[in-house]
Structure formats: C-alpha cells, structure tokens
Structure 1
C-alpha cells in the first residue's frame, strides 16, 4: 500500500478483507463500491464512492445508505431493503431500473447499481457497486435527437456495412419510401431494393468510394417497394470518415424523384406539342384544307384521341371545314349543343359526338374578336381520367394559333419569327430555371454558411466583412430574381400593375437611350388602386426628369411592397439640379405622396447621381395602418 492509502483510518470492516492488496483493489476500482450492514448502515465506502457523491474520506461511514438517494426515494428504498433482506440475491447492472443518486450538494444524477449479498458471521452484508451513467444517458439522448432529426426528413437514409452490405440503420423516410418495416429493412441490403443492380454491379459502384478515389457518388435508379411498384430515386452514396475505421459504414441518402420525373415528362410532352404544332403551322394558309387536316391530325395524336374536327360557324350554323378520324369518317353534321360547348372552352366526359357516349374537349376560334368556329377532339369512349389542365391549355392554345393564322394569313416571315420566338422562349425559360434552381440555391446556401460562421469569428473587422458579404449575397439574390422575372415575363409586361410598370419603363427607353433596370420586391399586385393611380404617374414623371436633366447612362427602378409602397428611382447622372427642383414636377410628386399620407424626397444618390424616393403607407386587411 502507498503512504496515502495506508494512512487512512481503516474501520474494522477493512481488516476483514484479505490484506492491503484487497483494499487497494477496492480503492482503485473505476466504480463506486460500498458495503452496508443488515440495518442499511454504510460500513465501507471506497474512494470512488466518496468522489462520486462529493463526501470527504471516511465521512460516509456509519451513515444510512439512504443519504445517497434523492429525498423522494428514501422511504421507498427502506421498503426495498426490507424485501431484499428477506430474499437476498445478486442483481447485475443494467437491469432496466431508473435509478438516481444524490450528491452531498443536493444534485441528482443517473446511476446503475449492482447488488450482491454477503453473509459473514451470520450477519447479512450487502455489496453495492455504483456507476455514474450521466455520459451514457446524454449520449443516448443525443442519439435519440439525431434519429428524430433523420426521421423528420422525407428522404430515405440507409446506413449499411461495406463488407456485408447489410443495413444497420434506416430512418422513417426509408420505411415510408419502401413500404417495408424497420425490422425487414435491417435484414436486407441495398441490392434487395434495386432491381437494376445485382451485388457485383453494386459493389462496382461502391469501389471508388471505399478506395478513397471519390468522397461521394450520385446515381439515378429505381427502388422496388414492398408492393412491387418501382419508384424512381436519386441516391447520394457517401463513405464518411469515422474514428473507428473497423466499423466505418456507408451512408446512402435516397430521394423519391417521382414528382420531378413527372414534371420533366410533362415539360417534354409540352415541348413536343409545341414543336409539332409549329412545324405543322409553318405551312398553314387560309383555305388550305390539307394543312388544316394535318393540324387536326397532329393535335389528335398528341392528345391521344380518336378524332377531331375544325368547324366554321356561319349564321349560327356549324359547318365542318376539316376533320380527321382514326376509324370512321368524322361527323359532317355537328349537334348544336356540341358547338355551344366548344364555344365555352370546355372538356367533358359524357357527350354525344357520334353514336353513344364520348369524351370531348373543344375550344372556340375567334377572329378579330368575333366567333369564327371551333376546334374539338373526341374519344370513342369516356376517359378513365378527366382532361388535365395541360390538355385544356393545349387545345385553347391551338384554337388561338388557328385564329391568328386566319387573321394574319400567315406568311413565311411571320412563321420564321414565331419559330425564332419559340427558340428564344425555350432558352429564356431554361436560363430562368437554371438561375432559380441552381444559382439562387447555391447563393442562398453560401449565405447560410457565412451566417453560421459569423458567430464564431472574434475579429470585429472580419465579422463586419462577413456581414457585408451576406448582405451582398442577399442583394444579388434579389437582383437575380428580378432578372428571372424579366426572362419569364412577356415582352409587354403582361396584365396587371406589374405589366403597367414594365410598359412605362420600356416606354422610356427611347427618351433615355437605354433600358431602365427594374426590380420588384413584395406583392406588387396587392397595391390598392388608389395608390397605383399615383404610383404610375410618379414613375413616369421620374423617368421623364432623368431623360431631360440627368445625363445618365443607367437608371434603376426599385418598387418594394410591405406595410408601405416604396418607389426608388436612382440614376448615375450629374445629380439633382435647380432645373429639376425648381420645376412643377417635383411639387406634384410630393403632393401625390402627401395626399396618401406618405413622403417624398429628391437628393444625391450615395454612389453619385440622383435618388428619388416616393413612399406611401398601404392599408392592410385587419388593421388600420
């Protein structure tokens, strides 16, 4: 024994151990060890017990064991001791009991306790081994939190062994995605779920990960659910490093891409329809029966119907101009109610086109605002599914194209322009999608990453630069969204207040010598009419002033809507001069703002040039502001 242990005052119980060695073993044990007599009095406690409960050496001796329990457990424990004395037996740790210990300072902590009876000289002694499991409880709680987080995602998370490929963990998303139970999935491997890859092919997919050539792999494949249906999925497979290389698992995050595939299919179908109709319409002429018939035929094939017809209405009487039918000649005489239906742009599933019930979809053709006729399609039997919105839009679009063809007597130049417009529209839509789906998301992710970094940066200068970078990213995202609107919006701005604003800015292009840059923020179409009546003339007057006085090469128009409408017109010109402030326009703009309870200002922009700011409150439903 060392001097420290041999100098302690040993009670008589210590002497009953087999010498100093046995006591040394008890003293250095990683768990607390104490012995109580038949009355529950502590007769021995090792150093770990005293340290665990916060007592000085020898301070526990002679005290009741209940002193180590929370107040609310002491009475119950006395009853437990009585029952244990009647039937003493060894009880191992981890027996499922929720036990708590109480330190000298009153704090309570979770413990595991094993009990062993010891009979000595006819007296019952109880040996208790006590283990602090606070760290384990905390780890289990963290594990539950992580599992809850993983279960909250709709994506499937599969963790499996790289050697056996057997799943060791699946989240709730994986269970819902596959239709199997957790127990079933834990008996399976990824190969059991993938009808496209056998084990050899799947191991070839994993090989670059396991060798360290790549950190992750993404593949598009299918998962076969428990009911036998196949679900298209995108799988991100990773082999993350862990401390214990021998138990390093592979993680697969699986996303159901059914909606994306369906959307892509709908886009491809729509694009195919558009291309086909442009091709057919490229040679369409008034009175060209063959071209009309080809148009009806092509559209019928794209819609998956049995036939269709183009009819002219003359003095209220329908007359078939051209028709196409897959089986029999199309009807030459149309029921009046069918024409009436077509004039309402309708789709129906139980109408009479030929003998019996049919599925029908039709749209009116108007030339110069007057009814000209109808374009309609039908199936010999009712459809199992109703006509979709895309089908209705397609037929309506076809009717409009026919009307425009008849109105303009399509020329080669007009058709060529239409083909060019289609190509530009597709490119603009593609660019807009790429900007929204890729660029904005990456900028947003970068901004979130910077924001999470700011709190960990101690240097004020560096923190300020990071905050400025986040603000710049936010401004860039807003500008990209404005650009996306510009790509998606019709050339004339479309209907509504947003379209009026675009038309005003486009109209100023000639006077300015360049196109103003327009940025929207908030629900522009929610601006009340009484505010819009002043907003539009204010914008027009502001752009006129820039054209007359600013000598600018760039103008930015910003309209923000929240609890107020804020119009800012900024140019890079010579700045506000007396010729602007002294005219009638500025007082009129101020009067318009004040009439609505708002403010107006005109001054130098921070970066040079002129800044005009016109701000008025917006009355919202439910409040009086």
Structure 2
C-alpha cells in the first residue's frame, strides 16, 4: 500500500513521465526517479482522496485515502473508468461533464456549489466535494481530483436547517440577544406576539419589550444570564408595539461558544394571557362558590346567642382546601335558672355532605338540650340520630356540658371528642375530667357523664381536631403545645378575644394553609349567685305554707320585698303541684343575682307537668298558666331523681 504502483512501473500507465516533465522537457533517469518518489510522498500525504484520470476518464493514479474512502484496493481502480466511483444514475451525465471539462480545462475549487455523490465498493452512496485541476503532460491531459467526504457536514447542515425551520415555525416567540441585551434574532411568532417585524427590532435593546416600570428587571435577568444561569418559566408582563400589556411565560438560557464561554442568550416567550384570564375567571367563580358554601356553613352552624354573665370568644376557620365547608359546629344554649349548655362537635370528613350532617345534628342537639336533659341523655339521643341518618361509616365526635353557676359545677359527657381544657384557675391549665366514651355512630354505647366543681371565672377551652392535628405531628404533643400556650397567656385576667387570636396564631401560624376546618371556643364561667338558700320539705299539704315562710324570710333578708307577692304566689303553685302529683322529699332552692331571683322546686316524680287550659268549673289546672304569665322565664328539667321546676323573676 505504501507504493503507489506496487511492482508495476510508473511508465506502464503512461503517466509518470507526463507528470514529471514540464513543457515536454526530458530529464535524466535519476532525476525522474527522485521526483517520482517525492510525488508519491505528496500524493500519499494528501488529506483527501486523490484520483488522477486521463482524458479518456481512465484512473491512472490513486492514494491510500482513496482506498479508505471508497473501499477498493488500488489494483481494483487503476485502469478502470472513473465512473466506477460514481452512482449509476449519474454516470451518463458525468461522461458528458468530463468531456466538457476536457475542452474547458479550468481549475474547479472544492465546494463549488455542485451536489455530488460518491459510490463505495459496497454500493453505499455518500455526499462529496471534489476539486479538479488539469495537468498537461507529454502524453496528454491528466485531471487531478481531490475527493472529500462531507457526510458529517451535510448531516450537520440538515440538522441546523431542521432546527432553524422548527424555530421559525414555532408557535412561541423565540429571540436571541447579546449579553448587553441587543436583539440579534426574531422569529415569525415573535413578530406575531409583539407586532414588530424583524427589521424593526433587530439591533434594538430588549428592554423595548418591557413596561417602563419593569425595565430594571431586564438588567437583573441579563446579569443572571451572564453568570450562566438558566431562568425557567418566569411569568411577567411584556408590552407590544401598540402599548398593549401581555401576560407571558419566559424561559431564558445562555448561549456558549465552543470553549463554553457565555456569548449571548436566547429566550422563548409564550403568551399566557388567555390562561391568566381563565385563572382569574376560575378564581372569581371559586370565590363565589366558596362564599355560597361559607354562607351555607354559617347558616347551618347558626349564631349562638349572647348569654348574660357568660363571656365567650369563638373562632371558626374553614378549611383552605376544597369547598371550605365541613362538619365543625358549636352552640351555646341558655337552659334557664342561670344554667348554660355548651356544645361542640365535629362530623368526620369535609365538604357539603359533612356540613349537611352537621346541620341536622346541631338542630337536633339544640332542641334536645332545650328540654333540660342531662349530657349523657343528650348523647344517647344523638347517637340514635346519627344511626337514623343512614350515612355509611359516619362518625361524629361531640361534647356537651352544662354549667351550673349556683352549684359551681360543670357536668360533661364527651363522645370521643378531644379533651376540654380549663384555664385561669390559678392552678395551671389542665384537662376537665370526663369519662371516655366512643364517638357517635358506633352504636350500642352507654354514655357516661361526670360533674366537676370549678370556681367562677375559670375559662373552658373547647376545640376541634383542625386546631391541633397537623401532618406528621403527634396529637398528644400538640395538646401539650396548646396547654403551654394557654398557660403562658392566662397569667392574669386576659381578654378572651385576644386569647382566641393568640391561640390561633400560635397553633396555626399559616392562616392560609390548613386542610381541616378549625373551631375554637373559650367560655368563662359566670360569677356565682350573690346568695343561695335551700331547704327540704315532705310531700304533704303543710309543706306549702312552710315553703312560703321560708321564701318570705329569704326575701326579707335579701331586701327583695318588691317581688315577694309574685314569688310567693308562684312558689305556692309549684309546691302544690309537687305535693299533689309527686313524691317527696321536695327540695326548694333559692338563688339571687344582682338582677334575678330564681326559685327551683325538685321532686321525685319523673313526670313533667304540662300547662293546660282549665275549664270554668275546674278548681285546679291554672298553676302553670300563672307561672307562665308572671315569671320572666320558667321551665322543667329532668334529674336523676325526678324533675326540677323553676322560675325566674326580675328584681
């Protein structure tokens, strides 16, 4: 392979002497041999495939690069027509072109604009560039062809053309710029988006596309690009040639030279105005629906009444996820005789279904509580209500307690609800003692209650799980955290409204990110009555005048003579009912506040009296009608031993 002609003498192909003689001059054989050797070295050192043909198109000389490029051994090429190296479809045209070149005899440089192809021995074609040089020899014209494989370059050009077509046909605006921000490329979509033609905008600074008040942002972005940083999906405002503002999504990335140095930047800009408008419409619709849902929620929850003597602070925060409605509720129920019912509950789940169940249970619980029934009885009744709702797997936690200021007690029954905390007692925050009962909806549960003495002025803290249950946290730790917050705050006599805000801020610092609705209720126990008295009487007729005497003496001692007549009349009626229709002993309990006098008569009969209209000939049946007419308020509540009938008069 190192010898061009192998064993065949150079003169045998009729070329060497022609190549080595200038203007037909003959030289000595030694000189010819030396120049022949030098010619061989130059031919083999050429980086391109070299093919030398005569005026008949016969291959006279080739180098090693020709063998490597076309896959032929040189013995297979020498003496063969040059068309052997040309695809079949071009051979006829090539013969004409070759004959024409023999007449023209001009040097044709590499890459002269012709689309040329070569043919390998294995039949594969490949793109080539060919330079031609005529050589005049004593034996006639020889043509030297330097053949270069441009497959890689052609593939790169095709790829570049494809990418250029993609960029130009992109629906997104694409532009290039220098690191100083001057525009160097502008595709058709950029013209459609901004309104500028390429001629109008190339060479101008990119800040022309930003609103006046946002042009400082351009400098910041250019600096980030100079540092080689890519900026992805940056949403901002841009301005068209008519001054119209556009919401756009911009992706920027630095362009680099072959050394990796940042030399410029490209940008893809997408118009997101339609998306922004749709988002705004969806947000408005969501807010409207959320407002409707919250209005429904508040309607279902109701507004607990203000109860004289009972200071409260309540907070309800709907869940920030979904419809914003849920199953939390609370209620305050005035029970009469200074007693107050406090109710809090949580229907498991979220959304309108939970809210609907909550609304039904709240109404039922309020009505049941107004009858004066005890907490355990109310829970038993609510458990039946949940079963009757026929909602599969529906569970409800609930807690009902009755505050009795005259007795200084709180009676509580909890159906699986979180513990109630007691603050402001001077002994630290602690849990209110309550029996452990299953949630409502389990069925077959006998609910238990307990009573605890709590001094007036103490604050009960009731809450739902949304306040303390957070992902990844332990509920006991969160209750301890709540206890600590309350302990630190209830060092004196704090405002309950301020306390409620403080608790929420401490437990839920991110007010816009909680997955469950949150209810918090603080209730401060009323002050004890100014005075109380009690006595016990047998169920005999003589107990009526004895009870009147007891009341007369108490009213005199309390300086309440103005209400004595009505009080004595109503006590006579209630005592007479107890003596005639119930069992003894009969308890009479009196309590006085700054504004009210309350009288309670308790007996051992579970039958609750009902007011009725007596006929003209009846001598009885008018007692409760009188109580109803003269008392500020009155009622009957069941007790474990029987019932208590009470009435209140204004002082």
TM-score range, shorter chain: 0.3 to 0.5
TM-score, normalised to structure 1's length? 0.42
More helix by proportion, 1 or 2? Answer: 1
More strand by proportion, 1 or 2? Answer: 2
TM-score, normalised to structure 2's length? 0.41
